[in-house]
């Protein structure tokens, strides 16, 4: 059964009626083809889910009647901030989607030396809005009630410089000798992943200068989208809510 979970940016409370945004309404009306009286779930990132009824259509938008709120906690105990080198098209979307599923708390797209995508002005704003939509969709699918923060695209060096003392800062480097199991357990993680082709040595050195630890994820070279997911799954397994027991 397809998910009947929808994100809205509107404030929500019980016994309220709302008009769902157009994109979500299109999915409800044209893809799922819900009928008046069908039940669904809506959330806005405040940590709760809201039971609702589809009560009808107004123009191109679906009207929902909010029934009640439920406090739900599906968040990771880890506070993971991901800096992802900007990649082309579907690769970037894939990383964003799966990172949300794996519990990341915040994501910053990073301009790097080898980034093959360079956008400015309206094109960048449009891409940023698209990425935000990918994150919302991933939250709908994965059951999250808190929406990870998407920061504006930033230069790699500036993002590295923003690392705090409370964070364990990690950068993937296939030549590194350190493994994740050698790192002290932590709850706050800043994870740097390069784009296609990886990071230049001077970019790795910039990360070094701000306290990042170079770690390797096994003996094989990973694609950028694989590297992010492997690292996130590994830290969640070692220290987070993918751990056994």
Q: State the pTM of this model.
A: 0.92
Element of type H or E holding 74: none
Distance from C-alpha of 212 to C-alpha of 178, rounded to nearest angstrom: 12
Judging by DSSP bridges, how do beta strands 168-172 and 79-85 pair with one another?
A: unpaired
pLDDT of residue 2: 59
Class of domain 79-239: alpha beta
pLDDT of residue 126: 94
pLDDT of residue 3: 66
DSSP string spanning 35-49?
-TT-EEEEE-SSSEE
Query: Which residue ranges does the chain devote to CATH 3.40.1280.10?
Result: 79-239
Q: What is the CA radius of gyration of the chain?
A: 20
Number of DSSP helices (H) and strands (E) in the chain, helices first: 6, 12
Distance from C-alpha of 186 to C-alpha of 115, rounded to nearest angstrom: 30
Distance from C-alpha of 152 to C-alpha of 110, rounded to nearest angstrom: 9
Q: Indicate the angle between helix axes 224-239 and 89-101, nearest 10 degrees.
A: 10
Residue 59 backbone class (left: φ over 0; alpha: ψ -120 to 50; beta: rest): left
- CB 214: neighbour CB atoms within 10 A? 17
Residue 211 Cα to chain centre, angstroms: 24
Place of tokens 């935000």: 132
pLDDT of residue 1: 47
Per-residue pLDDT of the chain (245 residues; tens, 9 = 90+): 456 999 999 999 999 999 999 999 999 999 999 999 999 999 999 999 999 999 999 989 999 999 999 999 999 999 999 999 998 879 999 999 999 999 999 999 999 988 767 778 889 899 999 999 999 999 999 999 999 999 999 999 999 999 999 999 999 999 999 999 999 999 999 999 999 889 999 999 999 999 999 999 988 889 999 999 999 999 999 999 997 65
Beta partners for residue 149, in sequence order: 106
5-71: CATH homologous superfamily? Hypothetical PUA domain-like; domain 1 (2.40.240.20)
pLDDT of residue 89: 77
Query: Which residue ranges does the chain devote to CATH 2.40.240.20?
Result: 5-71
Place of tokens 């938008």: 61
């Amino acid at each position: 059964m397809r998910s009947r979970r929808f994100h809205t940016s509107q404030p929500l409370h019980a016994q309220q009626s709302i008009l769902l945004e157009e994109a979500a309404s299109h999915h409800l009306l044209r893809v799922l083809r819900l009928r008046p009286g069908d039940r669904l779930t809506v959330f806005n990132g405040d940590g709760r889910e809201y039971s609702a009824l589809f009560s009808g259509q107004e123009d191109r938008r679906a009207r929902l009647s909010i029934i009640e709120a439920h406090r739900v906690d599906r968040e990771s105990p880890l506070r993971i901030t991901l800096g992802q080198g900007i990649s082309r098209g579907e690769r970037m979307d894939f990383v964003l989607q799966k990172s949300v599923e794996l519990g990341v708390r915040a994501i910053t797209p990073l301009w790097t030396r080898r980034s093959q995508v360079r956008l400015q002005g309206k094109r960048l704003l449009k891409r940023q809005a698209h990425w935000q939509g990918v994150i919302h969709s991933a939250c709908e699918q994965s059951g999250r009630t808190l929406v990870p923060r998407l920061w504006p695209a930033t230069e790699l060096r500036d993002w590295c410089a923003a690392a705090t003392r409370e964070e364990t800062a990690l950068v993937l480097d296939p030549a590194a000798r350190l493994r994740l199991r050698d790192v002290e357990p932590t709850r706050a993680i800043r994870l740097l992943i390069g784009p296609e082709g990886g990071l230049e040595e001077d970019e790795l050195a910039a990360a070094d200068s701000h306290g990042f630890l170079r770690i390797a994820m096994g003996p094989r070279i990973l694609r950028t989208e694989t590297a992010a997911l492997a690292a996130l799954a590994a830290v969640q397994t070692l220290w987070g809510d993918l751990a056994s027991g």
